[in-house]
Chain A
Amino acid sequence: DAMVIQNPRYQVTQFGKPVTLSCSQTLNHNVMYWYQQKSSQAPKLLFHYYDKDFNNEADTPDNFQSRRPNTSFCFLDIRSPGLGDAAMYLCATSRAREGYNEQFFGPGTRLTVL
């Protein structure tokens, strides 16, 4: 089945130690999104890629970076995780950027910062 895969599902890191979360998709979608979700709140968009075009949200901290080496893969890098970065990180895809396209979400990576 076509799907969005996130690895790992659970990630534990230490304060200040860089961490990378990965997302892959078999849907061949043009758009990939990264969201941060804290304790049953609404997901907060960090950035998205439209093909190779990177689009950062204005309030996304510089501590968060992303890479999309090809259509299938996208990575979220947290350069120096703080305690406040502990959250669920969700990757999503959509076929195109028009507003009527639904997004398909991966299962998420739960990040713990010690």
Chain B
Amino acid sequence: AQSVAQPEDQVNVAEGNPLTVKCTYSVSGNPYLFWYVQYPNRGLQFLLKYITGDNLVKGSYGFEAEFNKSQTSFHLKKPSALVSDSALYFCAAPFDSWGKLQFGAGTQVVVTP
């Protein structure tokens, strides 16, 4: 079965410090991997995706993610966190050929001033 896992329920970081949100995957074949962000009382917003090619993927709002096949990871990163980055982050992967998404449990990011 294909799945993604987010090992941290919450990540706390001070504004201006680097932010990392972890995701590991268990996907057969070539994985497609996604990151979404959800602000309070809002829908999910697409940040970035890995399909193939360059292992470093750049996305919206200054976020990037590194695909690491040997560690089966797809961690989300931002060099300098902002208070406005405080939100719920979901890693996801399609679990069938129709593109239905398997989401991780989510990681709450709290950025303090």
Contacts and interface: CB of A to CB of B under 8 A. Distances in A.
Interface residues of A, number: 30
B99 A97 contact: yes
Interface in A56-81: none
Contacts of B45: 105
Contacts of B90: 42-43
Contact of B108 (A40, A98, A108): A40
A75 B64 CA distance: 35
Contact of B99 (A90, A101, A105): A101
Contacts, number: 68
Given A4-B43, A42-B104, A108-B43, A99 B88 contact: no
Scoring B41, B51, B97, B108 by chain A CB atoms within 10 A of each residue's CB, the highest score goes to: B41
A45 B100 contact: yes
B99 A107 contact: no
B106 A48 contact: no
Contacts of B57: none
Given A97-B98, A99-B94, A100-B51, A43 B105 contact: no
Contacts of A55: 98
B106 to A, nearest CB: 6
Scoring B94, B97, B108 by chain A CB atoms within 10 A of each residue's CB, the highest score goes to: B94
A107 B88 contact: no
B43 A107 contact: yes
Scoring A91, A94, A97 by chain B CB atoms within 10 A of each residue's CB, the highest score goes to: A97
A42 B97 contact: no
Contacts of A94: 99
A43 B32 contact: no
A86 interface: no
- Across the A-B interface, the 9 shortest Cβ-Cβ residue pairs: A99-B94, A105-B43, A42-B103, A105-B44, A102-B46, A99-B99, A97-B98, A108-B43, A99-B32
